[in-house]
Chains A and B, each alone.
Chain A
Amino acid sequence: MTAFRRTDKPAHIDRTKPITFTFDGKTLIGFSGDTLASALLANGKTLLGRSFKYHRPRGVIAAGFEEPNALFTTGVGGRTEPNTIGPTTELVSGITAKSQNAWPSLSFDVMAANQLLSPIFSAGFYYKTFMGPLKKSWMMYEPIIRKAAGLGVAVPDVDTARYEQRHTFCDVLVIGSGPAGLAAAVTAARSGLRVTLTEQDFELGGSLLSSGNEVLEQWRKTQIAELESHREARVLNRTTAQGIYDGNLVVLNCIPQNHPAKMILEQCRAKTIIIATGAIERPLVFENNDRPGVMLASAVRTYLNRYGVAPKKRAVIVTNNDSAYATAFELAEADVAVTVAEHRSTLSGDLLAKAAQLGIAIFPNSGIANVIGEKQISAVRLAGRHAVTIECDVLAMSGGWNPVVHLTSHGGIKPKYDEKIAAFVPGGFAPSHYGAGGVNGTFGVMAAIREGETAARAALETSNFSKKLEAVELPAMREDRAYTIQPQWTVPEGKHAFVDFQNDVTSKDIKQAHQEGYLSVEHLKRYTTLGMGTDQGKTSNINALAMMADLRGLPMSAAGTTTFRPPYAPLTIGAIAGRNVGAHFKPKRLSPLHDWHVAHGATFIEAGLWMRAWYYDWAGHSPETAYIKEMELVRQNVGISDVSSLGKIDVQGPDAAEFLNRIYVNGFAKLPIGRARYGVMLNDDGIVLDDGTTSRISDTQFYMTTTTAQAGEVMSWLEYLLQMHWTDLNVHLTSLTDEWGGMAVSGPNSRRALQLAFPELDVTTETLPYIGVMDFVFEDVSVRILRLSFSGELAYEVHCPANYTTALWEHILKSADSLGIKPYGLEALASLRIEKGHVAGADLDHRNTLDDLGLGKMAGKEKDYIGKALRFREDCQAPERWSLIGIECMEDGKKLRGGAILFAASDEIKGHGRGYITSVTWSTELNKFIALALYNGGLKHEGEDIICAFPLKNENVKARIVSPHFIDKQGERLHA
């Protein structure tokens, strides 16, 4: 029993190019030019899937993106794609399509028993089970329901396909290549301006492809040929305009051919946009209108004329408007016996005459009472006076046409109801947007062509193009006949009259929503799940709105529509991610010493965007122990570490000193040349922003360093102050973070190391005391030595232009080799500073005041600095703030852990505690775990015993609050 057959009439398929594909494991053959849906129909496959809730048998309804039912899972493994839309999927060799939501098989589906449960699954089912007395039972039913309801299933495998993105620009973007779009694109292209034409289909032509008219086909070909001849015209088929965003950004997803990417997401910035997206036919709502074989009349016409797929013998057409007669006549001409059930009581003479000529019976005042046949319809029973039963292979329905207004509405313009065509049309157009053809509710071909041309001329005018252009040639045809419709909104009786085919919403559900008070469009949608499927209600929304308006006694214009949001059609997440996956997920930042670290056994760790050397092979292979060896090297001898990631800023200008004096809490105005100073910056709100050392190079030049983490933030903030507020200060800022690389040479032997490396240089304490700065030229390269210490040992930072940092680093290592100098990594660097009690990124949580960090005394009492006023607000002065403490572990063999929650010894271990550990390390000097932490009341509690709780590992470790300065409290080592 097959309901469809191939015709031998001319169509847009190439019968000489067969294409093999599989459906549910069975190998089938279609032709080049087919879609998955047309090929399946041609193979007699009408039962193609099971419905969302009730597992009812479903087949193809439409011939475009609006298709609610003919959805398949295609591909295998990571390339699996659920909910592939059959009518828009170009048939290519090797497609493997599987039906969805059916078990164990499509024709025998166990879950079809859900149909018996339909009273339970009706509107509001989810809400009632979540919220009502049934709430508890949800836990029990949920897994069963999850299995039973749904469509395609996403696979856990990684999608191995490649997705790309690109940015394009044009003067005129034409969306849609039907008669209006083609006319618009050709007109616009004649100007020589940059024109882009997009078409979601693989063939250009839109509704022209379904017409079966030779004159129109010639016209279509002529326009396409002309477009190809215009150098600045770009034609993108297989490209869906998904949304229009602010600033005329149109997001297009393109399926390229012969390209490594499966999909390209294009961000097209168009000066003007012509929306020629056409219209979608509405179904009619009647009992069992979801049975396979019930289709949109226009879809039946498309399958006939474009794909050469016709109903086997008999078709019934049910309509309330004139457009379905084209289908009726062309079916009859293709030897299909046609009967029309016409909702209206009168019909224009030309249609009646033609029907009579073709032997088509028309039943006026007739709708459909019921559809007979479950997996494939066999007959329909008419409603009304002529309650006859008519055998048929296909029931073609037309309830009128909905302009595809989505793109006109993305910017917030609500569509408005047009009584004449009983549909919503654009409520207006944004400046530089124009509409043409079906989207405007203009359904005739000739009128659409004229509108396309007019729209293009208006768009060109907006683009300041004023030369005269030749008019587009019209096809040699008679004028369009008028379109008339009698809206058919009444809510039918019956239990299985489907409004939303994809989400299984019936007319009964809408009645129920009305009875229960879910009246507004947005409530109706959420209560019934109407329009919430992958098709976003393209065929269902307007019928549902109209029914609700009818139940409420409101005119359509007062009912309103739901909000149209991008994307217009389902979009793969991979397309949105583009190439930013895997290694390209985010940019990586590498120190100028990176290659050296790689070559010398470093293990790396991510720190923000930076890849930093964590520890080196020479010290061992475990992050738990290697850093301890590296720490010992620094404490006892000398080590060298990469500090290139520090933010570095060149501050120059006559007012540089005044500027620094304003942004740091401590004074910089009188910093002598050749000296560095540790400084802290606050935000306006009195909270610590960043810290670092800044050195004075000359009267008008300073060298500022910031933390690695805050470098970008600080730079922007300082630029903001200078450019927008302190315009009277003559100061220039330039980031040197990339220009300069840096290394810390630390340990009691660090001076000897530098003396070996730079024998000509005097680095004794007399010339280069603690916080002294020295510039010199070494082998033609500028070098800056800053005597600073992060570790607490005698230490220097050596900075030089990044191109030479590796050479300088190697020079120091080689020169001081006799001392046993070795590199140390980020873990040791951080551990050394914890022992010394220096705060760093981890301890600064953007809630700390100066006093919280024990730095309150640094701030100048007399001078003004940013954040001074709000530093003293009540909250910042509260006695029980979380403030910096040191912690020593009091239990042998136990660890402290970063993030551990702190409790007083007498507290119950519950809740958020009194603070938390911000940094932790093994102390080589104290031979125990130590930590820095923020604790309620801070060092007021020095000496008290606490519990460090780490619930993830079920650990409670005893510890004691101590000063955060664990070593060398007098700073003797620094000043050595």
Chain B
Amino acid sequence: MRIPCPHCGERDVAEFRYGSDATKQRPQHGTGDLKTWHDYVFVFDNPKGQHIEYWQHVLGCRQWFTLKRNTATNQILPSPLEGEGGALAPDEGAVATELASTNPSSVLRMKDAQSTFSLKGRRGEKKQ
């Protein structure tokens, strides 16, 4: 897999480290109760299809950036968060909403796992 570093250009995946799910909104420092932090740290969607992730060009410029990747095909799309000249991308909660709305059936929502997840049929079981 080749990953386009917004600063260095396209490089081999081995030069990067994966960080985490970039569709999640990190609670503001010093705010948020136990539940907010619990959900942020432990509860993840596991989408098949388009996803936005944090990656770091750790063997290169050491810059973190967001990457829009299709988890099923590894196809990489131009990140909507990239500013001009590869400016750093801050949190953007809106992205998560956009992602979910474009391809709802592909998103398996693990946080609803206990109530809705079964091997037999998971289509259309997404609940908010």
> In the docked arrangement, what's the CA distance between A412 and B22, Å?
27
Given A716-B58, A873-B34 in contact, is the A246-B41 Cβ separation under 8 Å? no
Within 8 Å CB of A684, what residues of B? 37, 40-41
Name the B residues within 8 Å of A724 (CB-CB): 19, 22, 54, 64, 66, 88-91
Task: Determine whether the beta carbon of B63 is less than 8 Å from that of A249.
Answer: no
- In angstroms, how far is the closest chain A Cβ from the Cβ of B52? 12
Do residues A725 and B58 form an inter-chain contact, with CB atoms below 8 A? no
Distance to closest chain B CB from A271 (angstroms): 11
Which residues of chain A are within 8 angstroms of B2 by Cβ–Cβ distance?
246-247, 249, 269
| CB-based contact B41/A870 at 8 Å | yes
Bound Cα distance A247, B14 (Å): 13
- Cα A864 to Cα B88 with chains together (Å): 25
Set of chain A residues within 8 Å of B29, measured between Cβ atoms:
662, 726, 864, 866
Residues from chain A with Cβ under 8 Å of B33 in the complex: 869
Question: Bound state CA distance, A637 and B117, in angstroms?
Answer: 66
Residue of A nearest to B34 (CB): A869
Flag whether A596 is at the interface (Cβ < 8 A). Answer: no
Do residues B88 and A685 form an inter-chain contact, with CB atoms below 8 A? no
Interface residue total, chain B, C-beta cutoff 8 A = 32
CB-CB contacts below 8 Å: A849-879 with B: 864, 866, 869-870, 872-873
Q: Which of B22-61 contact A (CB under 8 A)?
A: 22, 26, 29-30, 32-34, 36-38, 40-42, 54, 56, 58
Q: Which residues of chain A (681-740) have a CB below 8 Å from chain B?
A: 684-685, 716, 719-720, 723-727
Q: Does B1 contact A (CB under 8 A)?
A: yes
CB of A245 closer than 8 Å to a CB of B: yes
Q: Do A249 and B88 form a contact, CB below 8 Å, given A864-B29, A870-B41?
A: no
Residue-wise, chain B 3-31 has the 8 Å CB interface mask toward A (1 for contact) of 00000000011000101001000100110
Interface: B74 (CB within 8 A): yes
Look across to chain A and name the residue whose beta carbon is closest to the beta carbon of B62: A719
In the complex, how many residue pairs between chain A and chain B have their CB atoms under 8 Å apart?
65
Tell me the B69-92 residues at the A interface (CB within 8 Å): 73-74, 88-91
In the bound complex, do residue B37 and residue A870 qualify as a contact, i.e. CB atoms below 8 Å apart?
A: yes
CA distance A412 to B32 in the complex (A): 43
Q: Which residues of B lie under 8 Å from residue A872 when comparing CB positions?
A: 34
> Could you tell me if A412 and B34 are in contact, using CB atoms closer than 8 angstroms?
no
A357–B30 Cα distance when bound, in Å, is: 94
Q: For A167, what are the chain B residues with a Cβ–Cβ distance below 8 Å?
A: 12
Q: Are B90 and A720 in contact (CB under 8 A)?
A: no
CA distance A684 to B22 in the complex (A): 15
By a CB distance below 8 angstroms, the chain A residues around B56 are: 716, 719-720
Question: Considering the complex, which residues of chain A in the window 236-258 have a beta carbon less than 8 Å from any beta carbon of chain B?
Answer: 245-247, 249
Known: A720-B54, A724-B89, A870-B34. A249 touches B1 (CB 8 A): yes
Most buried by B among A411, A719, A724, A873: A724
On chain A, the residues within 8 Å of B66 by CB distance are 724
Given contacts A246-B1, A685-B42, A725-B26, 12 further A-B contacts (CB under 8 A): A247-B13, A247-B74, A684-B41, A716-B17, A719-B64, A720-B54, A724-B89, A724-B91, A725-B90, A869-B32, A869-B36, A873-B38
23 contacting pairs across A/B (C-beta < 8 A): A246-B1, A247-B1, A247-B2, A412-B73, A662-B29, A685-B41, A716-B62, A719-B62, A719-B64, A720-B54, A720-B64, A724-B19, A724-B54, A724-B64, A724-B89, A726-B29, A727-B88, A727-B90, A869-B34, A869-B36, A869-B37, A870-B37, A870-B38
Binding site for A on B (CB under 8 A): 1-2, 12-13, 17, 19, 22, 26, 29-30, 32-34, 36-38, 40-42, 54, 56, 58, 62-64, 66, 73-74, 88-91
The 10 closest A-B pairs by CB, nearest first: A864-B30, A247-B2, A869-B37, A246-B1, A246-B74, A723-B64, A247-B1, A684-B41, A724-B64, A727-B90
